[in-house]
Structures are given as structure tokens and as C-alpha cells.
Amino acid sequence: MNDVDYMRILKWVLIVLLAGFIGQFGKSFAKYLMERARRKKAAEMTASAESTRQGALPSGATHPAQTAEGKNGNDVSIEVAKDEAKKKKKELKSLAKLQKKEAKTGKKDQE
């Protein structure tokens, strides 16, 4: 036990502590950058949605879906788009279930 090199041990302890400090700093910096990018993207989306909303409707007009006109069928383009999206989602979900079921039965056949 007399051959213990304390300087070598101290050097490795300092290296490990330095690596931990750099890792923690890098993690914090990455979180900061991601949050900044999220805020920037949210601001851009809000601005584009606001400009789209203002540009699409004449001054003083309300959106048809917000009035009774959209419900009566005069302007149902938004409702139709929502219905199509729901149908497509259901189709994809049933297709995924079917594929999963086929994969499961394929494994049983191999056993």
C-alpha cells in the first residue's frame, strides 16, 4: 500500500469533477436553447395565425363556424374538413390495429 500515488488520484478526481461540471453546464445550455427555440416557434405560429385570421376575413366579419350559418349548412367547409380528418384518423387507427393483429398471428403461426 505504500505505492499509492496521491497526485495521480487527485488528478483523476479533478478530471471527473471537471467532466461533471462541463456535462451539467452543457445540459443547462441545451435546455436553454430548446426553450428559446420553442418560444420563437410559438411566437411565429401565433403571428402567422393572427395574420391568416385577419387576412382571411373582411373587416367586421365573423367566421361562419362561429355563427349559426356554419351550423345551418351555408358554409360547412370547416366542418367537412374536420369530419374528413376524423375519418382519416379512424382509418389509420384501424389499419394499425389490423397490422398489429396480423403480426401477432404471424408470430403464433411460426411457433
pTM over 0.85: no
1 in a structural domain: yes
- Alpha-carbon gap, residue 34 to 95, rounded angstroms: 35
- List, for residues 38-58, the tens digit of each pLDDT value: 999 888 888 877 777 665 555
Residue 69 near residue 75, CB atoms below 8 Å: yes
pLDDT over threshold 90, residue 13: yes
Q: Would you place residue 24 in the very low, low, confident or very high pLDDT band (cuts 50, 70, 90)?
A: very high
- List, for residues 53-93, the tens digit of each pLDDT value: 665 555 555 555 555 455 555 556 777 888 888 999 999 99
Same domain (yes/no): 40, 88: no
49 in a structural domain: yes
Place of cell 349559426: 68
Look up the domain containing 41 and give its range: 1-54
69 in a structural domain: no
64 in a structural domain: no
11 in a structural domain: yes
71 in a structural domain: no
73 in a structural domain: no
Counted domains in the chain: 2
DSSP classification of residue 63: -
